[in-house]
Every structure is written in C-alpha cells, then in structure tokens.
Amino acid sequence: IRIKGSRQMGKTSLMARILHHAKQQGYLTVPLSFQSADGDILADLDKLLKWLCVSVGRTFKLENKLADYWDNDLGSKTSCTAYFEEYLLAEIDKPLVLGLDEVDLVFQHPKIASDFFSLLRAWHEYTKISEDWKKLRLLLLTSTEIPILNIHESPFNVGLHIELSEFTIEQVQDLTRRYGLHWNTTKVEQLMALVGGYPYLVQLALYHIARQETTLEQLLQAAPTDYGVYSDHLRRLLWNLEQQQELVD
C-alpha cells in the first residue's frame, strides 16, 4: 500500500489505523519512521539497510545477527535480503506488516534512493513466489512527488495507491459532530473559507473550540496573528520561505 499526502494530511494517522487493523487480524506490525534515523545513516546504503534490519528485529526482541549474514563481497542489498529471508521472516509464523513513514527523506540522496527502492520492489516481487516472503506486507508513506525511477525497479507503481485529499464540507460537518459541536453549514463554511479542508488546520480549530478555549469568531479574528492557534503553522511556513531566496524576492 502506498499512501501519499501533503504534510499533516493524516498519513501517519492512517498508517496507525491500518496497523491496528492488521493487529486485530493477527498480523505482526512494525512502524518505522525514517525521521528517527540519523542523517549519516540515510546517506549510506550499508548503514541504512543495517538500521532497517536491526530496527525490525528489535521490535520482536530478536538478537542482532548482522555479523552472521552481512557479506561485503555480496553487497548490502543481498545481505539485507538474506537477513530478512533467512532470519527475520523465518523466525515468525504470522504475516508481517512493515510500515515505512517519511521515506521521502531517502530521496535527498539519489544514489541511495535508487538502490533502496529497487530493493523494496524486489521484495514485492518475491512475495509472489516465496512462502517466506509471502508473510511480508509493505506500507510506504510519502509526502512529495516521487522522482522518476526505473519503471521495473520502483515500488511506487505497484500495489494499492492512496492519495489523501482535503476534507469535503460534508466531512468537516461530520468532524464537528464528533467533537460535540452543533454547527450549521454557515459556520463550517466560515472555517473552510480560512483553511479549506486541510485536515490538521481544521482539527486544530475544532479541538480548541470544543475545549471552550475560544469561539469560532475569536479564532477567525486571531488566526493570522502571533497569538492565534495557527501561529506555529505560520512560523513554519515563514521559515520554509526564508530558506529559498528566490521565493523571498
């Protein structure tokens, strides 16, 4: 499953719900965020694949056996595949859902990205022919456009693709009811005139209003200021803008 959406559109939340559902079906689950990996790990294929192997193993409290499977003469990709097939997947008797969040970060290193994602594509193909690999389910989360990869080596043109979009007015109305707010269409339209259907911004507003920390009218008035509920969001946009001189100009 490939989930794509802008920042704070709910990708990680959806992954958590999918993994929870998988657990209810008796599957094993491993959520991994590439944001938790050190920068030097993402910049080195060997370190990245070792990080992946050890992180998955630690979830099941399995001993680190990299020394037994890593062979520099065979290369990192083959060694990582052997570690998964002959050790991690061989040790479990249930399907495993591996959720990889923030995989966009790998694209900052094009050579690493090409090798890493071609490996994931190879694993996907293995699930069609190998009993051990049939245990593996991959869940990939991205927020940016995917750079062009070899069509036969990309994991982004196989499986189920889900692209998260903004909430519709009906969905925002449903969310207000879930927060215990009894809003008419006019109030919903007023909020959406400011933030559209952007899930994070809609939810942030409803959260503060439901806690009676503010009213819709007060929130709308303070929204573009330093003391409004969106101040952190606006500061982050400003910081992003200031990093790109051509946009500042």
Is the pLDDT at 170 greater than 70? The verdict is yes
Distances (CA, A) of 83 to 29, 43, 53: 18, 21, 7
Quick: pLDDT tens for 189-234: 999 999 999 999 999 999 999 999 999 999 999 999 999 999 999 9
Predicted confidence (pLDDT) per residue in 39-64, tens digit: 999 999 999 999 999 999 999 899 99
Give the number of other Cβ atoms within 10 Å of residue 224's Cβ.
11
Q: What type of residue sits at position 79?
A: S
Distances from the Cα of 215 to the Cαs of 123, 209, 222, in angstroms? 51, 6, 11
Tokens of 19: 């993994």
Beta strands in 85-131 (DSSP E): 96-101
Task: Say whether pLDDT at 151 is over 80.
Answer: no
Question: CA gyration radius for the chain?
Answer: 22
Rounded to two decimals, what is the model's pTM? 0.84
**Structure confidence at residue 148 (pLDDT):** 67
pLDDT interval class at 66 (50, 70, 90): very high
What integer pLDDT is reported at residue 153 of this predicted model? 78
* pLDDT computed for residue 6 by the predictor: 87
